[in-house]
Structure 1
Amino acid sequence: MNIRSYQWSVLKKLLKQRFTELSDEDLVFETGKEKELFVRLERKIGKPQEDVARIIKGMQQAYLQQALL
């Protein structure tokens, strides 16, 4: 999955709203290290990486649709 850093600030806020147990440290994003991010999120929210990726992808698509409006 390709996460763009300019989108991450918005996605991070959405993830924190949906999963209140997430901290800023859990949501640290570095380009090229998406797998590490997914592993952290998987552990913290108790969902498999595939679900984490699906959640983030859905949020990305919603963000892009909003940006196009």
Structure 2
Amino acid sequence: MNIRGYQWSVLKKLLKQRFSELTEDDLVFETGKEKELYIRLERKTGKTEEDVARIIKSMQQAYLQQSTLL
């Protein structure tokens, strides 16, 4: 996973919209500790690691597309 800090605030909001059960604590992101974030997201959403990665990647792509259009 390749999450950049400046993107995380946007991605975090999108994840909370998609998965209302996620809390701020679930969405704490620290560089170098991405695996821990994935584990929390897997447990709270019931998704596999691959599903979580796919969801985040698609959100990143949508964010980057939107950013380049502005």
Aligned positions, number: 69
Structure 1 segments, 4+ long, off by >3 Å, are none
Aligned-residue identity in percent: 81
Q: Residue 13 of structure 1: CA displacement?
A: 0.1
Matched to 2:18, the amino acid is: R
CA distance in 1, matches of 2:3, 2:38: 11
TM-score w.r.t. structure 2 length? 0.97
Corresponding position of 2:52: 52
CA distance in 2, matches of 1:13, 1:22: 10
Matched to 1:33, the amino acid is: K
Corresponding position of 1:64: 64
Q: CA RMSD in A?
A: 0.4
TM-score w.r.t. structure 1 length? 0.99
SS in 1 for 2:27: coil
Q: Does 1:33 align with 2:25?
A: no
